[in-house]
Structure 1
Amino acid sequence: YENMVQACINAGQLEKAIETVERSRSKRLVDLMASNDLYQPGEIPPEVKDLLQQYEDLQQQIDQERSQNNSSNNRELMGVGSSTKDRAAFQAYNEAIASLEAEKQQIWEQLRRLDPVLAGEIQVSAPDFCAMQKLIDQPTTAILSFYTTSKDTYIFVLRQNQITLHTCTGQGTETLQSWIFQNWLIPYIEDGSAWQSQISVFLSELAQRLQINDLISQHLGNITELIVVPHLALHQIPLAALPIGNGQYLGDKFLIRYTASCQVLEFCNERGEVREQLTYGTVEDATEDLPFASFEGEQIARLYNIPESDRLKGRSQCTKSNYSQLASRVQVLHSSHHAQSRLDE
């Protein structure tokens, strides 16, 4: 993918470049998390299961046809069979494969209507450039799609009617991504105090490496909202906290949303609105050392009439099991407690 992206950039084909970037993201595990919306109990609905079985059966038939054709080709190399028969057999083989592929594609289309995430798992279907532009609902919104190659980091700036490219020259896999790993992730895991003490210094240097002020001045005129699509270790960074000068941060200048990919954003847009009355829940001060978290939860509970049964408070109530149960019965869940990245899970 990296070579394809670089070739498109070199040719000035930014639309193809960002399509390739999205295609590279589309099979990642994070894109499959939305399947939980359809299968909260962990069971695949019978209709989806049946279509999936049909898809797999057709793929097996295709594989079998190809295997038999390879055997025929081997016999041909040994001088068995006439050229006329070979041409007829080859034509029949092509027609059989085309028919099976068409049937398989029809099954996949049905599967995608029922579960676009599962369909995306078995067959890559990343959004094209036009589909990505349609995800931007305001002229003052832009998608920032990060992509690091071995030499540079690129930030594709996608608006409703145009695409531009911001290049962080020399900030490649080793110079940027490995630097983030060594100076942000490892200290976070091994020495929390040291990590906290160097947050400001690290974020300031990262802002310089990404040339954030140049990005803003050259590409983000009249933009007020950013949809950020990070890449690799940048997923772990609070990009909203990048300093931009005069005591301001990126999050002060722009409303910022994050997404794992444009495909995930497309999944979210296709979910539709919740028609029934929303129910709310809170998870408050799970480690019992954030007194204002409890105050925050109390105020939210009053605003939205949240019953005590839908409020988890303190260490004894805020367990994984209770959290999961609460999430299954409410539409909106407000969590007010500590959090940490678990790089081992």
Structure 2
Amino acid sequence: MVSSPLTVMAEILDPLPPEQSGKILCCYINATSKIQVARISNIPNWYFERVVFPGQRLVFEAPRKGQVEIHTGMMANAILSDKIPCDRLMLEEPSIYEFDTDLIGIDPISKNNRYEFIESMEETNKTPKISQIVQQALSTGYLTIKAENQLRQLLTTRYDLEDFNAFMVLQDAVMLGKVKPENRASYEDVFSTINQNSYKPIAHIQREKALLLFTKVTRLKETANKYLSINHPEKAKFYYYQIIDVLEILQEGLDINTRRSLMKSYLEIYQRIVAVSIYTQDFNSAFLYSEISRNRYLVERLSKQDTLLPITLPFKLYEKIKEAKINENKALIHYTYVLSNKQDKQLIDKTKDKWLEAKKNLDNLYSEVSESEPEFIAKTKVYPISFTEVQSLLQHDSAIIEFFFTEKVLVIMLILPGEEQPFICEDLCIELKDNCLEEIVRIWASNITTKTTSTKDIEIDENLEQLPIFLKIFSDYLLPRKLQGYIPPDINNLIIIPHKYLHLVPIHALWLNENQCLIERFSVSYCPSIQVWKICQKRQRQRELLLGIENPTQDKDLIFSKAEVVSISQRQQFLQTQILSGGQASKAEILRSVKHHHCFHFSGHAEYNFKNPLDSYLMLSAHSNDEDLTLNFILTDMQMPQADLVTLSACCTGVVDAFQPTDEYLGLPTGFLLAGAKAVVSSLWKVNSIATAYLLDEFYRQLDRTNNKAAALQTSQNWLRACSADELRERAVTWDLSKLEPKEQFRLKRALKRLEGIPFENPYYWAAFVLTGC
């Protein structure tokens, strides 16, 4: 036997109860370690996981034949880590027929032992620890109903870690067959009651109880998976609900990297609860838990930012809170940046301590507010959005299409106005085969973000020339032919909620049928989640003041950048415009000016950094990276409380790190939403400057006529894909090109002369830009 912190003993009980025939019952005792996780697997298709405490007996049942593999690992500070160092122990079946006699050697019908146990539970002067009681239960044979009731009472009034461990040991006793077969059904009710009743106070415990929460998650996960494996979906749902509630508590207020680590370990829980809810026709729960799993970090930060302070607040306290919010946000982003760059542990610990100190200071100020406004703290928290609330926000001519990946299926949920629940059917559940879709998207993402395309003329890189082929493949996967039949004819606007790597796919450009793509039939906007959509909807903004950033690097190839900004500044909706061109567009000047403007239009170069998204940037200088508008800087320093629209006319400004295992993404749109913008127009690939100038010129012309940004983008994209070369040249005549240098005017006119036929019909030219927000 290999050296291990766990002593291993097992025996086949004979005779076995009928339901345990053909099983091995194994028992492991944690003799020395403080906290351990035991992961026990028997190949094929068998898995078992449990937290093991000092002196605890871990009982499980395994197939009679084959090997049992045990992995044990010290928890230490790696409570939330999915990688726990472990020893390994292999047991052959012939060597595990020894069993701890004090577990099964007691006469199971001994009345004296049973009465002694009940009497110990009824003591009034000194109530024994529940763990001691349960250890007695393991040596007294069958339990009575009175004993069950006493345990229930104690377990629902005691919440320390040792007591919770005792409950787990009691479940082991049931599995071991220490209760009469006819009473096992009642035990399931006891466990459900204990879980249900004892869970409610956990929401109020302090952060120091995080280990207790983690322990509960581990245990409930095992129980839920077991019920699922024996086809009891309703009981599995019950335990999955509790797991997710605990995970919500654990991740509240965490930085995005720690959230990702936590959610990565429990991603399958969200996938399974959605799948089980659909299986049981509980579509409202499927919607609820698919939504809870999305972009919790972004939702939480947006909610805190948009929470209004009471108008009765003293001015000094108001200013203190305002400053504390800024300091906490800067400290959080700095800590996230240091952690993302994997810098030395001392620096990571230092920046984390600064963030936690800033967070504590803000929490203390919020507590001060709550003394006079008791409901204020609740307003700073994030609560799941109900389906009823979604319906109250949804316009009569709009629908929501929400994508969600379970472990085996891509689910498409339709949320239609006036309905009592989401529409989900078999036709809209697409079976995933061998991760084929993900591999195609990876190839797609590589082609559209890393290859260089021409900005001088209308030639397309050979990889992007394949774009229509990719769109056809994506259409077959993501837009089932029957989808259109489920959408009422009076729906004109779609809000699309992508999931995982679908954030990189231009769903609006996919084919709805053989003759029509989605953007021809509907206006389309995107949101990371419905919670974000709700927050953006509530942001009331004007659209009268424009801040334009025009070719800050003074790249001679971007001649259409100047024409683009000039034409946009002519629009009637803008009562005042400020254009920062070339060297005028410094970081300091943008930071100062952007606070007071309703629209921010950037036309220039950008870059997305997949290795560290916080280093993605809008380029302001060709000579110094320090002058660029990085996502890190946008998150920490940019404040746009009046911003109705941010338009990023540059390459890859809408790309996110969508191949993360969780749905917590970072990209430039994230930064501008957190800075205060109601909507962001950004690009999914490296764009052509000529086509982009025409597209955005038409977009702003449409905004003169409508307040619907998605409809304006729809019209402009359909206009560009069908516009002839002669019509494009006629449009250029309407631009005020007097601000262009003579050489620039000559180059622009030369480029226009090269246009032939319908030059921008390929989706590469018109489909890159998406609207995020409202």
Q: TM-score, normalised by structure 2?
A: 0.33
- The answer for the alignment partner of 2:511 in structure 1 is 243
Residues 281 and 330 of structure 1 are in contact (CA less than 8 Å); yes or no, is this contact kept in structure 2?
yes
The structure 2 residue matched to 1:164, chosen from 423, 429, 443, is 423
- 1:135 paired with 2:393, answer yes
- 1:225 paired with 2:529, answer no
Residues 550 and 603 of structure 2 are in contact (CA less than 8 Å); yes or no, is this contact kept in structure 1?
yes
Residues 240 and 250 of structure 1 are in contact (CA less than 8 Å); yes or no, is this contact kept in structure 2?
yes
Matched residue type, 1:135:
L
Deviations 1:239-298 (A, max 9, x none): 112133566421121111111111111112333x247x8422112345643433322311
SS in 2 for 1:198: helix
Larger Rg: 2
CA displacement at 1:333 relative to structure 2: 1.4
Q: How does 1:48-87 map to 2 (within 5 A)?
A: 52-53=363-364
Matched residue type, 1:343:
F
Residues 147 and 154 of structure 1 are in contact (CA less than 8 Å); yes or no, is this contact kept in structure 2?
yes
Provide the rounded CA distance (Å) in 2 between the counterparts of 1:299 and 1:136. 34
SS in 2 for 1:154: strand
- The answer for the alignment partner of 1:196 in structure 2 is 464
- Cα–Cα, structure 1 residues 267 and 232, in superposed 2: closer, same or farther, change >3 Å? same
CA displacement at 1:199 relative to structure 2: 1.6
Residues 283 and 334 of structure 1 are in contact (CA less than 8 Å); yes or no, is this contact kept in structure 2?
yes
Provide the rounded CA distance (Å) in 1 between the counterparts of 2:586 and 2:513. 41
CA displacement at 1:173 relative to structure 2: 8.3
- The answer for the alignment partner of 1:81 in structure 2 is none
Provide the rounded CA distance (Å) in 1 between the counterparts of 2:327 and 2:365. 18
CA displacement at 1:15 relative to structure 2: 1.2
- Cα–Cα, structure 1 residues 15 and 184, in superposed 2: closer, same or farther, change >3 Å? same
The structure 2 residue matched to 1:110, chosen from 359, 363, 376, is 376
- The answer for the alignment partner of 2:445 in structure 1 is 185
- 1:279 paired with 2:537, answer no
Provide the rounded CA distance (Å) in 2 between the counterparts of 1:261 and 1:4. 18
- The answer for the alignment partner of 2:594 in structure 1 is 327
CA displacement at 1:170 relative to structure 2: 1.6
Matched residue type, 2:496:
V
SS in 1 for 2:284: helix
Deviations 1:19-40 (A, max 9, x none): 1111111514476357666879
SS in 1 for 2:296: coil
CA displacement at 1:335 relative to structure 2: 3.1
- The answer for the alignment partner of 1:343 in structure 2 is 610
Provide the rounded CA distance (Å) in 1 between the counterparts of 2:284 and 2:568. 44
- Cα–Cα, structure 1 residues 341 and 262, in superposed 2: closer, same or farther, change >3 Å? same
Provide the rounded CA distance (Å) in 2 between the counterparts of 1:54 and 1:219. 49
Provide the rounded CA distance (Å) in 2 between the counterparts of 1:213 and 1:322. 51
CA displacement at 1:9 relative to structure 2: 0.4
- Cα–Cα, structure 1 residues 31 and 342, in superposed 2: closer, same or farther, change >3 Å? farther
Matched residue type, 2:287:
I
Provide the rounded CA distance (Å) in 1 between the counterparts of 2:516 and 2:470. 16
CA displacement at 1:234 relative to structure 2: 0.8
Provide the rounded CA distance (Å) in 2 between the counterparts of 1:215 and 1:148. 18
* Structure 1 or 2: more helix by fraction: 1
- The answer for the alignment partner of 1:260 in structure 2 is 528
Structure 2 unpaired stretches of 5+? 1-269, 308-321, 330-358, 453-460, 614-774
- Cα–Cα, structure 1 residues 21 and 240, in superposed 2: closer, same or farther, change >3 Å? same
- Cα–Cα, structure 1 residues 35 and 241, in superposed 2: closer, same or farther, change >3 Å? farther
Provide the rounded CA distance (Å) in 2 between the counterparts of 1:111 and 1:238. 39
Structure 1 unpaired stretches of 5+? 58-102
Residues 152 and 167 of structure 1 are in contact (CA less than 8 Å); yes or no, is this contact kept in structure 2?
no
Residues 292 and 384 of structure 2 are in contact (CA less than 8 Å); yes or no, is this contact kept in structure 1?
yes
- Cα–Cα, structure 1 residues 329 and 190, in superposed 2: closer, same or farther, change >3 Å? same
Residues 149 and 172 of structure 1 are in contact (CA less than 8 Å); yes or no, is this contact kept in structure 2?
no
- Cα–Cα, structure 1 residues 234 and 326, in superposed 2: closer, same or farther, change >3 Å? farther
Residues 402 and 414 of structure 2 are in contact (CA less than 8 Å); yes or no, is this contact kept in structure 1?
yes
Provide the rounded CA distance (Å) in 2 between the counterparts of 1:306 and 1:293. 20
- 1:23 paired with 2:296, answer no
Residues 272 and 407 of structure 2 are in contact (CA less than 8 Å); yes or no, is this contact kept in structure 1?
no
Once superposed, what is the RMSD of the aligned Cα atoms?
A: 3.5
Matched residue type, 1:281:
L
Matched residue type, 2:599:
V
- 1:174 paired with 2:447, answer no
Provide the rounded CA distance (Å) in 1 between the counterparts of 2:431 and 2:560. 44
Matched residue type, 2:413:
F
Q: Between Structure 1 and Structure 2, how many residues are aligned?
A: 281
Matched residue type, 1:284:
E
- Cα–Cα, structure 1 residues 196 and 21, in superposed 2: closer, same or farther, change >3 Å? same
Deviations 1:52-97 (A, max 9, x none): 237899xxxxxxxxxxxxxxxxxxxxxxxxxxxxxxxxxxxxxxxx
Matched residue type, 2:291:
E
Provide the rounded CA distance (Å) in 1 between the counterparts of 2:378 and 2:438. 34
Provide the rounded CA distance (Å) in 1 between the counterparts of 2:531 and 2:411. 19
CA displacement at 1:216 relative to structure 2: 1.6
- Cα–Cα, structure 1 residues 37 and 311, in superposed 2: closer, same or farther, change >3 Å? farther
- Cα–Cα, structure 1 residues 4 and 233, in superposed 2: closer, same or farther, change >3 Å? same
- Cα–Cα, structure 1 residues 211 and 171, in superposed 2: closer, same or farther, change >3 Å? farther
Highest relative contact order (Cα 8 Å, sep 6+), 1 or 2? 1
- Cα–Cα, structure 1 residues 55 and 9, in superposed 2: closer, same or farther, change >3 Å? farther
SS in 1 for 2:496: strand
SS in 1 for 2:474: helix
CA displacement at 1:179 relative to structure 2: 3.2
SS in 2 for 1:12: coil
Provide the rounded CA distance (Å) in 1 between the counterparts of 2:515 and 2:589. 41
SS in 2 for 1:142: strand
- The answer for the alignment partner of 1:146 in structure 2 is 403
Q: TM-score, normalised by structure 1?
A: 0.69
SS in 1 for 2:489: coil
